[in-house]
Structure 1
Amino acid sequence: MRAEKRPDAPATLQTALAQHQAGNLSQAEALYQQVLRGEPRNPVALHFSGILAHQRGNPALAVELIGRALAIRPEDAEAHFNLGAIFQQQGELRAAVRSYRDALRVNPDAAEAHINLGNTLKDLGEVDEALACYRKAVSIRPDDAAAHFNFGNLCWDMGDPGEAAAHYRSALRIRPEFADAHNNLGNALKDLGDTGEALACYRRALSIRPDYAEAHFNLGNVLRDQGDVGEAFACYRRALAIRPDYADAYSNVLFLHAYHGSLEPQEYLALARGWEQACIPERERQAARERVFRRSPLTGRRLRLGYVSGDFRTHAVSYFVEQLFTHHDRTRIELFAYSTSAERDAVTDRLQALVEHWVPSAGAPEAVLRDRIDADGIDVLVDLSGHTGHNRLGVFARRAAPVQAHYLGYFASTGLTEMDYWIGDDTLTPPEADAFYSERIWRLPRVWVAYEGKADAPAPARRAAADDAIRVGGFNHLGKLTPAALALWAGVLGALPQARLLLKTKALAEAANRRRILDAITAHGIAPERIELRDISLTPDWSSHMACYHDLDIALDPVGGIAGGTTSCDALWMGVPVVTLMGDRMASRMTASMLSALGHEEWIARTEREYIQIVLDLARDAEKRNTLRFSLRSQMAQCPLCDAGGLARSLEDAYFEMADRWQRRRTDEHQR
């Protein structure tokens, strides 16, 4: 949206346009008014007065003035385009679409109008039409970097990083200094697994634009995934210095602190409480406190339950959620799922088939999603993300339902004033942890999750090794292999001179990650030949991955960060005992909760020395390990950890009680 000289305009109007183009808004405004006093129906003066009004923060006046100009000269494609841009910026997307289409009716070859129409249609979820717009823009102006860039953005949003990368590269061939394209190419390459090139892209973007908050953030994400926590923190802090209200960067700082236990619990809680102060305007927080919900009593009707997550896809959270969705009692519960990520896969399809109401919510403004949830009449809204990727905590902070709770997806307090409950169990969240949460802890009378032990998993089998060395280790995410964990495991190897350490995770495909892990362990005097590092190249499917547990004798739960979840359950299902160190934070107690449900508290250590001793005792008792190899699966199948139906009933009872408490409070308030 810009003011340009019009050769056919009278001299005063030419001067006004020149002043406008130079940024002298007051002088331009005075000259436009002078023209309009003499010619009240001058369409050019009306049009550019409208642009000026928009620049001055008065969109209503801008729409009125440009509308008057178009009533006089309806074939002005530029005016239609500028009106569409104003509507788009104000969130009036349908009106923007009409204006852009009017512009293209007059000038079908206006590439910029095709681009903006595509962007607007994308925001409306009309993906096929948006793609057609971008294709048209590229065909009109194949040397238009913005057209390729926007085409790439849509491809990435649709889950096609390869096609997205091709368009970003086309944009960069045209504009090598296009910082946004370097950044987004980095995102696509990261999704394709090329983290080395992704890092180079982010750094190139920052060399062009050092104050590019999103590039600092994305660089931090890759460094975090590579285990370089210190540099990741630095990147997030740089992003926040540029944009103090950058909610995702603030969330990632919280995530890292919670993940690595780098703050005392009360310090973490204070920082978490600051998230909404930094990221949610005070007027919206006040409005959340004053929101009034009208819900009929639950007597005689089903409870309307909503789950919000960015992980309704192949992800550890969905592994547990799928069992829950399967077992929720539809005579008691009307189930809604709000999916906040555009990523889809076969797991997404299965989850969608299990719920009555599937609501794609990726990209929806938080106020819009809040209002949609309220309109759906949700009684209890459950967050499954916390401060992890694709979270919509801003929706919860704005209060979308009478009762709001966090469950499963995070390992510390959200810090939100409007999050009523945090769902755990007696081991995961003991009473002494209450002071570390802004939410009220709701303890289930059983283990807080349920694991589906798949019948088609490979049968447990004795390790067919060429030597008698005990194999200890695990298959956890690289981020869980903290310096504290590697040091403790080096201590295990020191106490078991014949043992070997087996670690397997996707990120070990990268040489830099392998070197870092080897260096960290060998620094404690462990010979490198005692360490075996595997990536996923030899285990392309779930069954071959699970068969790798045949090579493991004792699973070592990570310490110094987050304990195992799904990985601990997988090991146990394959007959491998898991040794864990239970700390005072929820993040370090997940495996302990599972082992308690299984009846194997003897594998829960309270100190590092005890951890090593438990491993030693198991290593020295081959007969016991052999018995466990073939009995643990049946033990699990009969314990609460594998009772998904029981978990669903327990959670449903909790949700009804939460809703009843809210109804009683509302009744009491009305009677005062």
Structure 2
Amino acid sequence: MLNIDFHSDGQSKNPAINHQKLIAYIHSGQLSQAEQMAYNLILLDQADFFAHKIYGSLLVQSERYQEAIASLEQAYTLKPEDTEILNNLGQAYYKLEQFDEALKYYNSALAQRSDFAECLNNKGMVLHALGRLNEAIDIYDRAIILRPKYLKAHNNRGAVLRDLKRYQEALASHDRALAIEPQNAEAHSLCGMVFQQLGQLHEALACQLRALAIQPNNPGIWVTLGLILSAKGMLTQALIAFDQALALNPRLSEAINNRGLILRALGRLSEARACFEKALIFKPCSVEALNNLAILQHQQGQLDSALETLNKALTFNPNHVSALINRSTVLRDMGQLDTALSDLAQAQTFEPDSVIACSNALFILNYHPDHSAETIFDAYREFDRRFGQPHRAAWLPHPNRPDPERRLRLGYVSPDFRGHSACHALEPLLTHHDRAHFELTAYAELTQEDALTAVYRRLVDHWVPTRGLSDDELAARIRADGIDILVDLAGHTANNRLGVFARRPAPVSVTWMGYGSTTGLSAIDYFLADATLAPEGSEALFAEQPWRLDRPLAIHRPVPEMGEVSPLPAHRRGYVTFGTLTRHVRINHRTLRTWATILQRLPGSRLVIDSKDFAAPSMQQRLTERFEALGIAPERLEIGYHSPPWDVLRGIDIGLDCFPHNSGVTLYETLYMGLPFITLADRPSVGRIGSTILTALGHPEWIAASETDYVERALALAADLDRLAALRAGLRAEMEHSPIRDEGGFVRSLERAYRRMWQLWCRTSIRHNS
């Protein structure tokens, strides 16, 4: 509430004199005095239109939008034909992200005054926010025709063109603004944002520094600088930039939100969450802050909360692509695959060139229980058509020396050179490589390094951080490094660099490990496999040529913390306990039906399902209800989450694998704790992971050919507890003496494959050059 001092303001009884004094305050920059006087004039006369108009406008400037609307609507009641009032009301609603209301007032103003350039510019901003980008361009063009030197319209037009990915046109708009005013900080900053989108981070940074030299106290420019520093992987410096923005404007939601992103990337999750929640205090309708809060809730296993937050975000902006993608991920982890795919399809409608949306859809399709392998592969071919093949025209010849026996340069590309499940295979691989014949380079797409990163650094000859490098820049670096064989270790998982492989920077390329399925990219030569994972006749399901090792593609280094194998729990309890450590995405109506049949056929038996997706009681309850619908009582189920899971495994007698997408690392862990598991040989290749592991172990009798066969094999294991106890006691030793634990043998086999791949390229290269 403003203090009232009628005498100090010295109001006249003549309204015209008061209004002139009010204008004088504004022209002299004495805005607080102007606001006080306007407020006092309203108290003296509620029908003072001019006082309401000025007071509302000043409140908009001071970001007190709800108060502004109250005063402006009073002014509108007094004089509905005043287009400036309508424009200011639109601006207040725009700032509150109530875009439909804002558009209503802008349209009313323009209906009365079609040449109102400022209102056209503001309407363009609303259309931009609503995702109606082409309409926004048309509106800005109208404003510029009316006022050719309208800086804001040129800059806003460029911002829309950037979102349309018409980057050169966007730069041209900002260049026109700079031609009008060379020292226009906003134009320099917006140019930097275009260069950031182009992956030209050096140029982007230079633009922001020029903008800051002009306006060092502009918090928005500090925010943009922070975003560019973050893209370059300079997280500490980015945090300083956001803190500087907040020093200038402590209520700036964008700075608080982006500060939270950096803290999340640094693993400081509680601080990050506090930032997102604080950003929402200052800007409750911020879709960005809601989206980021939901990501954190998901990361912390709070799936219901994450879904609720994302639903709220999409209420404010149904076209927000990132929120749609993130909601699909939450729905995926809740087992709602079709709904998740629907969100991703909607995201691609709004942003057809969203590689992330397309990759995530492929990821989900691998788990879908009802699609055929052929139907799924059609989606992978479409990915190649859209995101792979357009780069073929720019492929360059490889100058690598085609000597079939020389030392080869291997490049491993991964976001997982850190504490990640990939370490069970990746660390043994790098440890046992023959460095006399192979020179190793790690291309590490990391946000944050950890203790395991330091281990990986020591195991390679060259370490190249790739965060902040565009696909073109990284491809050029790989070519300059002379890599002979480039290996993708991520597939369509998060933070992959498949865009680099589409550019074919090395003579030979291979995909392996992190994804377990084809990438869909015809630019990649080989899919590393074995005769079980990609059996003869399955070649049509791979964009790459399956390269089958001369031994099983199974390698695993257990962690020492797992502890000892326990005695068979069934002997102590008197009933058999089945179990799985799988994520929810692998559980579907087929697996549920099969597991329920096992429990029905073996009265008294129990089932344990333990993973992070079931940390919340609500998730446990939903899965329990699905089993109840199949006739399984809740007391026969133990659903939850424990980390680490070693004691959980010590309480299980028989493991159950999932299908059509098998589990991965948890299957190795199951065996190492003495548990046999039943798997179903389903779609190549992700449906054959369990089969590959059991083939390597020498137990093909635990591989089922159908759901009925799966049930029978599980019951056969459960029928002989003494045999099951003997298996449990000896399974770890079996595993230690199997190909699974023969790290050196695996790497020698892989190196033979690499050498043969290289020799084939040399032969082709020599033939083409002769």
Given that 2:334 and 2:584 are in contact with CA atoms closer than 8 Å, whether structure 1 keeps it comes out as: yes
- 1:503 match: secondary structure: strand
Query: Alpha carbons of 1:158 and 1:373: their partners in 2 closer, same or farther (altered >3 Å)?
Result: farther
Amino acid at match of 1:641: I
Is the counterpart of residue 172 in structure 1 residue 280 in structure 2? yes
Is the counterpart of residue 193 in structure 1 residue 301 in structure 2? yes
Given that 1:51 and 1:82 are in contact with CA atoms closer than 8 Å, whether structure 2 keeps it comes out as: no
Match of 2:635 in 1: 529
Given that 1:19 and 1:28 are in contact with CA atoms closer than 8 Å, whether structure 2 keeps it comes out as: no
Query: Alpha carbons of 1:293 and 1:493: their partners in 2 closer, same or farther (altered >3 Å)?
Result: same
Unaligned runs of at least 5 residues, structure 1: 1-6, 8-14, 33-43
Match of 2:724 in 1: 625
Match of 2:653 in 1: 553
Match of 1:660 in 2: 759
In the TM superposition, what are the counterparts of 1:585-664 in structure 2 within 5 Å?
Answer: 585-664=684-763
Query: Alpha carbons of 1:339 and 1:64: their partners in 2 closer, same or farther (altered >3 Å)?
Result: same
Match of 1:347 in 2: 452
Query: Alpha carbons of 1:456 and 1:221: their partners in 2 closer, same or farther (altered >3 Å)?
Result: closer
- 1:562 match: secondary structure: coil
Is the counterpart of residue 210 in structure 1 residue 318 in structure 2? yes
Match of 1:247 in 2: 355
- 1:315 match: secondary structure: coil
Given that 2:199 and 2:469 are in contact with CA atoms closer than 8 Å, whether structure 1 keeps it comes out as: no
How far 1:584 sits from its partner (Å)? 4.1
Query: Alpha carbons of 1:150 and 1:53: their partners in 2 closer, same or farther (altered >3 Å)?
Result: closer
Match of 1:439 among 544, 552, 565: 544
Identify the range of structure 1 (351-360 vs 416-425) with the bigger mean alpha-carbon deviation: 351-360
Query: Alpha carbons of 1:494 and 1:329: their partners in 2 closer, same or farther (altered >3 Å)?
Result: same
Separation (CA, whole Å) in 2 of partners of 1:136 and 1:458: 49
Is the counterpart of residue 472 in structure 1 residue 578 in structure 2? yes
Match of 1:460 among 557, 565, 576: 565
Identify the range of structure 1 (115-124 vs 175-184) with the bigger mean alpha-carbon deviation: 115-124
Separation (CA, whole Å) in 1 of partners of 2:238 and 2:538: 49
Given that 2:489 and 2:513 are in contact with CA atoms closer than 8 Å, whether structure 1 keeps it comes out as: yes
Query: Alpha carbons of 1:199 and 1:565: their partners in 2 closer, same or farther (altered >3 Å)?
Result: same
Separation (CA, whole Å) in 1 of partners of 2:379 and 2:588: 22
Given that 1:161 and 1:189 are in contact with CA atoms closer than 8 Å, whether structure 2 keeps it comes out as: no
Match of 1:335 in 2: 440
Q: Percent identity?
A: 33
Is the counterpart of residue 494 in structure 1 residue 600 in structure 2? yes
Match of 2:336 in 1: 228
Separation (CA, whole Å) in 2 of partners of 1:30 and 1:596: 75
In the TM superposition, what are the counterparts of 1:495-514 in structure 2 within 5 Å?
Answer: 495-514=601-620
Amino acid at match of 1:610: D
Given that 1:29 and 1:52 are in contact with CA atoms closer than 8 Å, whether structure 2 keeps it comes out as: no
How far 1:433 sits from its partner (Å)? 0.9
Match of 1:286 among 384, 390, 393: 393
Query: Alpha carbons of 1:632 and 1:341: their partners in 2 closer, same or farther (altered >3 Å)?
Result: same
Given that 1:29 and 1:49 are in contact with CA atoms closer than 8 Å, whether structure 2 keeps it comes out as: no
Residue deviations 1:333-377, cap 9 Å, x none?
Answer: 211222334254433333333222222223532222222222221
Separation (CA, whole Å) in 2 of partners of 1:285 and 1:646: 37
Amino acid at match of 2:352: P
How far 1:444 sits from its partner (Å)? 0.2
Separation (CA, whole Å) in 2 of partners of 1:527 and 1:484: 19
Given that 2:587 and 2:658 are in contact with CA atoms closer than 8 Å, whether structure 1 keeps it comes out as: yes
Given that 1:474 and 1:555 are in contact with CA atoms closer than 8 Å, whether structure 2 keeps it comes out as: yes
Separation (CA, whole Å) in 1 of partners of 2:187 and 2:341: 46
Match of 2:425 in 1: 320
Match of 2:508 in 1: 403
Match of 2:533 in 1: 428
Q: Which has the higher contact order (CA 8 A, sep 6+)?
A: 1
- 1:367 match: secondary structure: helix
Given that 1:206 and 1:216 are in contact with CA atoms closer than 8 Å, whether structure 2 keeps it comes out as: yes
- 1:450 match: secondary structure: coil
Is the counterpart of residue 270 in structure 1 residue 378 in structure 2? yes
Separation (CA, whole Å) in 2 of partners of 1:85 and 1:505: 41
In the TM superposition, what are the counterparts of 1:9-408 in structure 2 within 5 Å?
Answer: 25=141, 28=144, 57-58=168-169, 77=185, 81=189, 84=192, 88=196, 91-279=199-387, 282=390, 284-288=391-395, 291-298=396-403, 301-408=406-513
Amino acid at match of 1:479: V
Residue deviations 1:282-314, cap 9 Å, x none?
Answer: 3x33223xx211112346742111122233333
Given that 2:175 and 2:187 are in contact with CA atoms closer than 8 Å, whether structure 1 keeps it comes out as: no
How far 1:596 sits from its partner (Å)? 1.3
Give the TM-score normalised by the residue count of structure 2: 0.76
Separation (CA, whole Å) in 2 of partners of 1:456 and 1:171: 41
Given that 2:301 and 2:615 are in contact with CA atoms closer than 8 Å, whether structure 1 keeps it comes out as: no
How far 1:448 sits from its partner (Å)? 0.6
- 2:411 match: secondary structure: strand
- 1:308 match: secondary structure: strand
How far 1:160 sits from its partner (Å)? 3.2
Amino acid at match of 2:437: R
Is the counterpart of residue 567 in structure 1 residue 666 in structure 2? yes
Separation (CA, whole Å) in 2 of partners of 1:28 and 1:565: 59
Identify the range of structure 1 (441-450 vs 460-469) with the bigger mean alpha-carbon deviation: 460-469
Residue deviations 1:520-542, cap 9 Å, x none?
Answer: 22222222222222311xxx44x
How far 1:206 sits from its partner (Å)? 0.5
Match of 1:485 in 2: 591
Separation (CA, whole Å) in 2 of partners of 1:234 and 1:134: 36
Separation (CA, whole Å) in 2 of partners of 1:389 and 1:174: 31
Given that 1:502 and 1:532 are in contact with CA atoms closer than 8 Å, whether structure 2 keeps it comes out as: yes
Separation (CA, whole Å) in 1 of partners of 2:117 and 2:709: 79
Separation (CA, whole Å) in 2 of partners of 1:126 and 1:332: 35
How far 1:613 sits from its partner (Å)? 2.2
Unaligned runs of at least 5 residues, structure 2: 1-26, 28-114, 123-138
Separation (CA, whole Å) in 2 of partners of 1:19 and 1:507: 49
Query: Alpha carbons of 1:584 and 1:201: their partners in 2 closer, same or farther (altered >3 Å)?
Result: closer
Query: Alpha carbons of 1:463 and 1:49: their partners in 2 closer, same or farther (altered >3 Å)?
Result: closer
Identify the range of structure 1 (469-478 vs 359-368) with the bigger mean alpha-carbon deviation: 359-368
Query: Alpha carbons of 1:97 and 1:387: their partners in 2 closer, same or farther (altered >3 Å)?
Result: closer
- 2:562 match: secondary structure: coil
Query: Alpha carbons of 1:467 and 1:638: their partners in 2 closer, same or farther (altered >3 Å)?
Result: closer
Separation (CA, whole Å) in 1 of partners of 2:234 and 2:620: 44
Equivalent residues, number: 634
Given that 1:244 and 1:278 are in contact with CA atoms closer than 8 Å, whether structure 2 keeps it comes out as: no
Residue deviations 1:235-276, cap 9 Å, x none?
Answer: 112112222222111112212221224322222222111013
Identify the range of structure 1 (449-458 vs 140-149) with the bigger mean alpha-carbon deviation: 449-458
Is the counterpart of residue 670 in structure 1 residue 769 in structure 2? yes
Identify the range of structure 1 (212-221 vs 19-28) with the bigger mean alpha-carbon deviation: 19-28
Query: Alpha carbons of 1:327 and 1:236: their partners in 2 closer, same or farther (altered >3 Å)?
Result: same
Amino acid at match of 1:156: R
- 2:413 match: secondary structure: strand
How far 1:443 sits from its partner (Å)? 0.2
- 1:580 match: secondary structure: strand
- 1:259 match: secondary structure: coil
Match of 1:578 in 2: 677
